[in-house]
Amino acid sequence: MIVNLFRHTQWLSIFVLFIASTLLWSIFSFSSFEFGNPNKYGPFELLISSFAKPIFIQRLLLGLFIFAQCLYFNKIIVNQRIISINSLFPAFFYFLILTSFPNSIQWSSILISLVFILLALKKILTLYLKKEAYTTIFDAALMIGIACIIHPPFIIFAPSLWIGMSIFSQVEWRLWVLSFGGLTLPWLIFYTIVSSGIIPKLNMTYIVRAFKPLKASGFKVTTEINYGDYITLGFLFIIVLVAIYELISGLKYKNIRARKSYILLMWMTLMGFIFIYTSHCSIFLSFICLAIPLSAIISNYFYYHKNSIWLNFLLFIFITLILVNHLMI
């Protein structure tokens, strides 16, 4: 059964995830990119330009980057006891959501910023029953601030920090000061670097470009959207609705820590949908911002119904749609 393959933390499951990351993100569906103006770089363009050529370096690093991201997300969910300690479901569904649409198989500022949101989430979840939360709050705010520098529209996820503070910790004015300080510090450092001219190509105009459509921003995407994207999106949306309903109906039966964590993830889901609605990027490229909360929510549903035949069939159809969608490009 497909679901049972990722039921326990096994080397076979990790190996399958590694092969899937390599095949889909490094070989079959990889989208190369070019930069419109080489004299006006933002942090993302500056970072990616260091290994933009040869193309096989892009491919290799992207596949490894996705594989590492999946395992790190799984570690966060498992260590915080949100789901069974022996499960690789979070990594599996995190990978599926990231891979659902061929248009997202590329280096993007959204994908890199997602790593810093993961780092911030880990810090926020560790606030539970923590007496001294000052350093943790500052670190989490710092990570969100860096994510916003790489992709400015990610400022939409800043409230997740304050929601996490109110859920996991006793809010006091010092924590609010530290949270705002952590969010603004990366911007102050970045503005100082740009103003001093230490890095000549680094330019603040990327902030304006981040709120423009991809073509207007100078970022050239070679992959075109096909009808398979909409079919896959619709099928995923059905799974998400069922998983959210299952989570809400069973939330009262979970332990306090898991309950608080899922409430935060539900808020992050709402922020993610707002991000997609307001984003000038393709909906399929923007959708990967939901990989974090939706992976955990769907994992919860599949884990507690892992012996269901129809659920395994549902997952089989979803994986088939993803594969067919990638073959259609």
Name the pTM for this structure. Answer: 0.86
pLDDT of 4 above 60: no
pLDDT of 10 above 50: yes
Confidence of residue 199 (pLDDT cuts 50, 70, 90): confident
pLDDT of 20 above 60: yes
Q: Which residue has the higher pLDDT, 6 or 238?
A: 238
Q: Which stretch of 7-21, 33-47, 192-206 has the lowest confidence by average pLDDT?
A: 33-47
Q: Which stretch of 57-71, 143-157, 231-245, 286-300 has the lowest confidence by average pLDDT?
A: 57-71
How far apart are the C-alpha atoms of 225 and 329, rounded to whole Å?
A: 8
pLDDT of 38 above 50: no
SS3 content of the chain, % helix, strand, coil (to 5): 75, 0, 25
Residue 113 has a CB neighbour count (10 Å cut-off) of 25
Task: State how beta strands 219-221 and 33-35 pair.
Answer: antiparallel
Confidence of residue 260 (pLDDT cuts 50, 70, 90): very high
Q: Which residue has the higher pLDDT, 6 or 276?
A: 276
pLDDT of 144 above 80: yes
Q: What distances in angstroms separate CA 264 from CA 23, 31, 75, 217, one per listed residue?
A: 33, 33, 18, 33
pLDDT tens, residue by residue, 208-249? 666 665 444 444 444 455 677 888 888 899 899 989 998 999
| pLDDT computed for residue 76 by the predictor | 92
pLDDT tens, residue by residue, 59-93? 788 888 899 999 999 999 988 888 866 788 899 99
Give the chain's largest Cα–Cα span.
62
Confidence of residue 124 (pLDDT cuts 50, 70, 90): very high
- Dihedral pair phi/psi, residue 55, rounded to 5°: -65, -30
Tokens of 307: 């012996």
| pLDDT computed for residue 206 by the predictor | 67
Peptide bond into 54 cis (omega under 30): yes
Q: Which stretch of 15-29, 88-102, 206-220 has the lowest confidence by average pLDDT?
A: 206-220
pLDDT of 271 above 90: yes
Confidence of residue 32 (pLDDT cuts 50, 70, 90): low
| pLDDT computed for residue 16 by the predictor | 79
Domain residue spans in the chain? 2-327
DSSP structure class, residue 213: -
